[in-house]
């Protein structure tokens, strides 16, 4: 593992954050009603994971482009998941912005808004052979995907 700035990590974080910034002004109807019921343990996992993944994605140069090899397919797959994440958001922003829209799946991937970036960062960790980011992503995934699955269950999906 190499310490150093990761421009690939920065690209992934920008792809993650831009739709979330727009989302703050486009939250689903009745969202506040569900947020108050969030499991505090899952919320702690989510917050810790968010901070760890955000920092770790930037401080390890392991994620930057390397000469092409079969290992590069991990980065291609990770980037493809992030593109699919952007497509999820475009679809959401064009929808009626209901809770059902927000917790929808895409290509059979459940709660795509939570699952896609977690999987993308996990594949980025594999590409960079970085166990520290991998563990941080698992912590994030437990909290973030767990919360989204609970909300989806609450709305009766």
Residue 144 lies in a domain: yes
What's the pLDDT score for residue 73?
A: 97
Reported as type and span, the H/E element at residue 33 is: helix 31-35
Residue 49 lies in a domain: yes
Residue 81 lies in a domain: yes
Query: How many distinct structural domains can be found in the chain?
Result: 1
- Alpha-carbon distances of 4 from 7, 8, 32, 129, rounded to whole Å: 10, 12, 39, 15
Residue 1 lies in a domain: no
Domain of residue 105 covers: 7-154
pLDDT digits (tens, 9 = 90+) for 84-117: 999 999 999 999 998 889 989 999 999 999 999 9
Nearest to 84 by CA among 123, 122, 112: 112
SS3 38: coil
pLDDT band at residue 156 under the 50/70/90 scheme: confident
């Amino acid at each position: 593992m190499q310490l150093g700035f990761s421009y690939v990590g920065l690209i992934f974080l920008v792809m993650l954050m831009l739709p979330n910034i727009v989302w703050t002004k486009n939250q689903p109807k009745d969202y506040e009603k569900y947020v108050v019921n969030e499991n505090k343990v899952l919320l702690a996992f989510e917050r810790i994971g968010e901070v760890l993944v955000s920092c770790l994605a930037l401080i390890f140069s392991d994620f930057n482009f390397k000469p092409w090899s079969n290992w590069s397919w991990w980065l291609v797959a990770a980037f493809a998941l992030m593109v699919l994440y952007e497509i999820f958001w475009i679809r959401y922003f064009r929808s009626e912005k209901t809770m059902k829209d927000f917790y929808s799946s895409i290509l059979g991937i459940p709660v795509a808004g939570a699952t896609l970036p977690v999987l993308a960062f996990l594949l980025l960790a594999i590409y960079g052979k970085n166990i520290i980011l991998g563990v941080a992503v698992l912590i994030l995934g437990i909290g973030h995907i767990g919360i989204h699955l609970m909300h989806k269950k609450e709305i009766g999906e």
